[in-house]
Each structure stands twice: as C-alpha cells, then as structure tokens.
Amino acid sequence: MVRLLRELKTRLRAAGLPEGEALDLLALASRLSRKDLLLRLLEAPPPGTEERARALLEKRLAGYPLQYLLGEVEFFGLPLKVAEGVLIPRPETEGLVELALRLPLPKAPRILDVGTGTGSIALALKAHLPEALVFATDIDERALALAEENAERLGLKVHFLKAPLTGGLRDLDLVVANPPYLPLGYREMAPLELAHENPLALYAGEEGLAVARPLAEEAFEALKPGGFLLLELAPENVQLLAEELKAKGWEDVEVLQDLAGRDRYLRARRPSQELEGEKGPLRGP
C-alpha cells in the first residue's frame, strides 16, 4: 500500500492540500484504522482499496470536506460525529471553549450554547464542568438530532431545545455561541470546502452580524446580572459589535485574539448592579 499512499500524497500536495490527509483517505478506503493501516503498509491493498481511494481523492480534490468523508472530527478531545448539512467544528471554536472555562463562573453555572450544530461547544463545556446545567438551542432539526446522538455516545447530559437564539431561557450565567458571522460578500472568495456546508450556518448579512446583533440583545435579558456573553466572530466585524455593545451598556467588553493573532472572540458582561426582579420568567428544565 506504500505506492498507493505515495500517489495520494503527490496528488494532494499538487492541489495545495495537506499531504497528511492521504493516510486518512487510505485508511477509509482500506476499511482499516490508521493504526492498523500503518502496521500493514507493506502489504498489498485489500480488494477494492485502490478504486475506493481514488474515488475519495477525487471527491476531496473537488473540495468536499475531509471531515464529512471521515464522518467524525475531534473537538476539544471529544470524538464528534459530523454529517453533511451541519457545520463542521473548527479549531478556532476550541479557543472559545478555553475562554469560557477561564471565566469566573459559579460552581454549578447555567450555560447556554446558541446554534449548537454538532453540540461541540455544549458538550465540551459539560465534559469539563460536570456540575453545570447546560442548554443548547438550534433551529435545524438535523443539527439537533446529530448533537443529541453525540451527547448519547459521550454519555453527557445537555438539554437540547429546538428554538431560535436564546429560546426564552433566563437566569443564565453564560451565553456562548459560534453564530453565522461571515459577510455575504465572502461567498465569492470562500474556499471550496465551504460550498458543501449549510450557508445558513456561515453567512449573516452584509456585515456578518445579522445573527450576532439580535443574539446579543436577547442575551442581555437571558443572563443574570453579572453574567457573561462570549461569541466567536470574524476579524472584520468583531470590533464593530464590541463598540455597539459598549454603547448599549454592556460592561467589561473585550475583543480577544485566536492562536493566529487575529481578533476573533468577543467577551462582555451584563452589568451586575441590576435588581433580580428585572429578569423574566425561566423556561426549560
């Protein structure tokens, strides 16, 4: 199988794709785990492997995401099932989880993940904050079914709700989200892979803030006084929303960078000196 692996690497490299993906494609085509494949590289390919490997390669070269081909992605140490039509969790979003875990939350915080997709953020937070009561909303039934499947596979309890934005929840300590944040104009220059993902999970109006703005408004009402809002946004629009939140009375508004040094995350806090009686009724468990 060494010869076939070299062929896959060569063609991936020529297309500007990581040649390391060749091992994933060959493992999938040979129906072996990566570990077993490495042990059997000097053997002849199992019947049908070459045809399957080249078919997978052609699909990948056409821009079909590797994660969809594999059907799984690792996110914050958790193996998550992925499926076409549901946004693939990105490494940048792992940074959002890290920031959430650094917040001064109570021992048993009430957390909401808005637009949960595969359930990645909600499940990662529940795994690291087992005493937390974690909610997750989405309007896509496919996404919710996938998120619930991932939760069951991992043995993690999250309350999934089919609802837009905050779903009417109240008394939350943290609202966290990776909402659609790409400007519509970006579609003209987007990588091929994005054409295979749900555009509703990617694009949000001319500025990319058509979801984040109303989400911030609802989050202000959903959070306890002193509660946190934490968003992943685009470097092109995160500063703009930060200024808007400051003008609307949010406290401790800060833009934070991702590992590549790009402005990526927006953290803000609802003022803490409000009266408890100003909050709305609780919905949900």
Give the model confidence (pLDDT) of 181-227 as tens digits: 999 999 888 888 898 899 999 999 999 999 999 999 999 999 999 99
Q: Would you put residue 165 in left (φ > 0), alpha (ψ -120 to 50) or beta? A: left
Show the domain range for 125.
85-278
Residue 123 sits in a domain whose CATH number is 3.40.50.150
pLDDT bucket at 20, cuts 50 / 70 / 90:
very high
Q: Residues 29, 135: one domain? A: no
**Together in a domain, 53 and 95:** no
| pLDDT tens-digit readout, 62-73 | 999 999 999 999
The answer to whether residues 73 and 89 touch, using CB atoms and an 8 Å cutoff, is: yes
Q: Is residue 75 part of a domain?
A: no
Q: Are residues 243 and 201 in the same domain?
A: yes
Q: Residues 50-60: what's their mean pLDDT?
A: 96
- The mean of the pLDDT values for the chain is 93
* DSSP E strands, the chain: 72-75, 78-81, 110-114, 133-138, 159-162, 172-177, 223-232, 251-257, 263-269
Domains held by the chain: number: 2
Residue 253 within any structural domain of the chain? yes
Give residue 193's pLDDT. 87
pLDDT of 207 reads: 94
What is the edge-to-edge ordering of all strands in the sheet holding 159-162? Answer: 159-162, 133-138, 110-114, 172-177, 223-232, 263-269, 251-257
pTM of the predicted model as reported, rounded to 2 decimal places? 0.90
pLDDT at 34: 87
What is the Cα 197 distance to its own chain's centre?
12
Does the pLDDT value for residue 97 go beyond 90? yes
Is pLDDT of 282 > 90?
Answer: no
